[in-house]
Structure 1
Amino acid sequence: MLATRKAPIYTMVYKPDDFKGTPLEHAEVHTSAIQHWPKGVSNYRTYLPFMPYQIEQFDLTAYDTVVSSSHAVAKGVLVGAGQLHVSYVHSPIRYAWDLYQQYLREANLTSGVKATLAKVALHYIRLWDHSTANRVDVFLANSEYVAKRIWRTYRRPARVLYPPVDVDRFDHTRPREDFYFTMSRFVPYKKIDLIVETFTRLGKPLIVIGAGPDFDKVKALAGPNVQLLGRQSDEMVADHMARCKAFVFAADEDFGIVPVEAQAAGAPVIAYGKGGSLETVVPDRTGVFFGQQSIESLSRAVELFESQAGQFDAATIRRHAEKFRPERFRAQFAAILEAAETAKKNGEDPEKAVLALHLEAL
């Protein structure tokens, strides 16, 4: 969940080392019982069927306002009638809803006893997830794409609040070099295998940063023109963003912060034209789109980009990314929270107050 006004944080699991040097390093953090279960921190996804119960064990009765930051179960916290609950939803549970069949296929859970147990567990989670929408006063979504999915899943409207992006980490003034770049966790839906196979066929230089379960699969597809650097530091990522010819992004993401980071570094983006990318990449000004997650479609987009490469200006691309600054996020979030709290105090509908709030458009 999200910390506001130096409030305590309640979360399923917490790994302090991951937050050293951040504003959360000295936060008051309360964890669920999963924190103390075998491999609860390192392999918490294994305990997904227990998370709905665990999120309901947090005692939040001392707080007037509860803010949940949810991609799975956080929005299901128990709150009283007198409390305000604002839920910033990054996605309804994807593996229980949109990616249900894909998740089962990729986990090899299409038949057998384990598959049946997984399907029953996800069925229960869908029922629980849908019912807990009534525990939320105000839904916020991290993109229009997610807002539409919130409506489809819960039949509730959501106010869009784009996530903050630390644009100051990136330098857009450095000369561009002759290589394409991508970075991601190596998991199936990120489609790093598609990018690597496409560039291997094209014979164009590609540098890839990232690690994950699919690393060996991707490595087997990589030709001599593709460099797989594995996991690297934030500084190394920013360096490649600043020098690459273009950043390549093939995932169907809810928002997708990395393409915005690339634009903060002045890099044009070659992106799959679905999901959050449609809201963060401007065609012919900050990048180009490809319409299908296929080698042919991505290849055509690379060719289109190279035919238009001279029209992309790093300063223009950077100015677009500036719209996602943390300062903007904080100001908009504060305005949303104030409107919701005022409406709650006055006995009015917080959801209507937030939806009616005028915020500067991107």
Structure 2
Amino acid sequence: MESIRVAIVHEWLENWAGSELVIEQLIKCYPDAKIFAVVDFLSPKDRARLGGREIQTSFIQKLPFARKLFRHYLGLMPLAVEQWDLAGFDVVISSHHAVAKGVITGPDQLHVSYVHSPMRYAWDFQNTYLRQSGMHHGLRGLYIRWLFHRLRNWDVRAAAGVDAFIANSHYIARRIRKTWRRDAAVIPPPVNLERFSVAQQKKDYYVVVSRLVPYKRIDLVVEAFRNMPERKLIVIGGGTDLELVRERAGGAPNITIKGHVSDSELQSTLGGARAFVYAGEEDFGISLVEAQASGTPVIAYGRGGACDIVQPGVTGLLFDTQSAESIVAAVQEFEKHEQNMTPELCHQNALRFSEDLFRSRFTAFVEQEWREFMPSRSYDRI
């Protein structure tokens, strides 16, 4: 596909996270691709990971207070992505969790959408989002419900313009099927496994690494370990739920809340832990793969992307209910079989999610879709 012109469409560029890791690898797949994003506020350090290339942004980039409040312009984002002129490209690849797949393409353009998630807050997580943000009552809540209604209608229309979907997990593939009535191939996102190595010796503590936000349910992990004072827990990460997590910890001496740490400390802490404990329902769960790459078993809620990552009884354990009681029972069950979940097995399991495998799987998928797309395009030109 050397002569094929490629455009990569991303939602927004603000901080370096999982979706930006995908863009970084897509650029390696298609070095000459042009990148489009609703806004671009990356730091110079993060921009270097994109080769320092110019990003084509939308009109939202120049709206008042966009740097800090661009998410407040969500209602304008469908209009923004529809304004880009992509006529000069043969293949359009959208990296989607909100509006990116809504770009307009023509009958001679192949549109492949890599989906991190359908809009959670507009679809099946709407009521949860409204409750957690305090907007489930009043005029503001009514406005948000009306906005989400309009976004859902637009979202279904936008999905019809995509030629092929790729989901980052089987869980997201099911959500795509439920939301848009479309099938999706599954290609796990890339994880930089080279950062992590298997520790020579485990220590006597458990760990969780996560943004401290409501749906991650770190509060449940902390509550569970407060009820297990003989077991140590280290919490790494920051976010809006930091004070709630500290409150749930209640000053328990067996729980250490570290906030953000250096990369070297993260690596050593993950590698030394008996197990990584996680209670959130993730679309995929890169931190779970990082734990496995460190040779650390994972104890996780058995919904979402964790089911694609953890091999129960071999590299970890899955529990059925999001509750502190279920976490306590899962930790106790894990300790009965801990000797079977060796660091080597965990590390080997993580290799399924390498950056090299992502690139080879993704390019093979796009090339196959292009070969199938070409005959119809040629026929239209006769």
* Band of TM-score, shorter chain: over 0.9
Percent identity of equivalent pairs: 42
Letter in 1 for 2:296: A
Aligned counterparts, 1:141-290, within 5 A: 141-203=167-229, 204-222=231-249, 223-290=252-319
* Mapped partners of 1:184, 1:195: distance in 2: 11
Aligned length: 349
Q: Deviations over 1:97-133 (max 9, x none)?
A: 1101101111111221101100000000010001111
* Mapped partners of 1:75, 1:26: distance in 2: 24
* Mapped partners of 1:348, 1:307: distance in 2: 59
1:326 correspondence with 2:355: yes
Asked whether the equivalents of residues 16 and 25 of structure 1 are also in contact (C-alpha less than 8 Å), the reply is no
How much has 1:18 moved relative to structure 2? 6.3
Out of 77, 85, 88, the position equivalent to 2:103 is 77
How much has 1:245 moved relative to structure 2? 0.9
How much has 1:306 moved relative to structure 2? 1.2
How much has 1:19 moved relative to structure 2? 4.8
Secondary structure of the structure 1 residue equivalent to 2:67: coil
Asked whether the equivalents of residues 199 and 272 of structure 2 are also in contact (C-alpha less than 8 Å), the reply is no
How much has 1:22 moved relative to structure 2? 4.8
Out of 150, 154, 158, the position equivalent to 1:128 is 154
Letter in 2 for 1:217: L
* Mapped partners of 2:375, 2:296: distance in 1: 48
Secondary structure of the structure 2 residue equivalent to 1:219: helix
Alignment correspondent of 1:47: 73
User: More displaced, 117-126 or 231-240?
Assistant: 231-240
Secondary structure of the structure 1 residue equivalent to 2:199: coil
Asked whether the equivalents of residues 238 and 259 of structure 2 are also in contact (C-alpha less than 8 Å), the reply is yes
Asked whether the equivalents of residues 298 and 317 of structure 2 are also in contact (C-alpha less than 8 Å), the reply is yes
Distance 1:173 1:22, change over 3 A: farther
Letter in 1 for 2:344: A
* Mapped partners of 1:340, 1:148: distance in 2: 21
- 5+ long unaligned stretches in structure 2: 1-9, 11-22
Asked whether the equivalents of residues 241 and 247 of structure 1 are also in contact (C-alpha less than 8 Å), the reply is yes
Letter in 2 for 1:107: S
Stretches of 4+ aligned residues off by more than 6 angstroms: none
Distance 1:119 1:253, change over 3 A: same
Out of 346, 350, 358, the position equivalent to 2:375 is 346
How much has 1:151 moved relative to structure 2? 0.8
Asked whether the equivalents of residues 250 and 271 of structure 1 are also in contact (C-alpha less than 8 Å), the reply is yes
How much has 1:234 moved relative to structure 2? 2.5
How much has 1:44 moved relative to structure 2? 2.4
Alignment correspondent of 1:16: 42
How much has 1:21 moved relative to structure 2? 7.2
Asked whether the equivalents of residues 300 and 319 of structure 2 are also in contact (C-alpha less than 8 Å), the reply is yes
* Mapped partners of 1:18, 1:145: distance in 2: 34
* Mapped partners of 1:232, 1:21: distance in 2: 22
How much has 1:41 moved relative to structure 2? 2.9
RMSD between aligned residues: 1.5
Letter in 1 for 2:232: P
Distance 1:80 1:21, change over 3 A: closer
Distance 1:207 1:65, change over 3 A: same
Q: Deviations over 1:38-71 (max 9, x none)?
A: 3323332222111111111111111111000001
Letter in 2 for 1:212: G
Secondary structure of the structure 2 residue equivalent to 1:247: strand
* Mapped partners of 1:193, 1:47: distance in 2: 30
- 5+ long unaligned stretches in structure 1: 350-362
Distance 1:230 1:18, change over 3 A: farther
* Mapped partners of 2:160, 2:377: distance in 1: 17
TM-score by structure 2 length?
0.88
Alignment correspondent of 1:360: none
Secondary structure of the structure 1 residue equivalent to 2:234: strand
User: More displaced, 63-72 or 36-45?
Assistant: 36-45
Secondary structure of the structure 1 residue equivalent to 2:173: helix
Letter in 1 for 2:260: R
TM-score by structure 1 length?
0.93
Q: Deviations over 1:22-41 (max 9, x none)?
A: 53041231112222223323
Alignment correspondent of 1:316: 345
* Mapped partners of 1:174, 1:226: distance in 2: 24
How much has 1:80 moved relative to structure 2? 1.0
Alignment correspondent of 1:357: none
Asked whether the equivalents of residues 270 and 288 of structure 1 are also in contact (C-alpha less than 8 Å), the reply is yes
Asked whether the equivalents of residues 19 and 25 of structure 1 are also in contact (C-alpha less than 8 Å), the reply is no
Q: Deviations over 1:252-291 (max 9, x none)?
A: 0111111011000000001001111011100110001111
Asked whether the equivalents of residues 107 and 377 of structure 2 are also in contact (C-alpha less than 8 Å), the reply is no
Asked whether the equivalents of residues 183 and 210 of structure 1 are also in contact (C-alpha less than 8 Å), the reply is yes
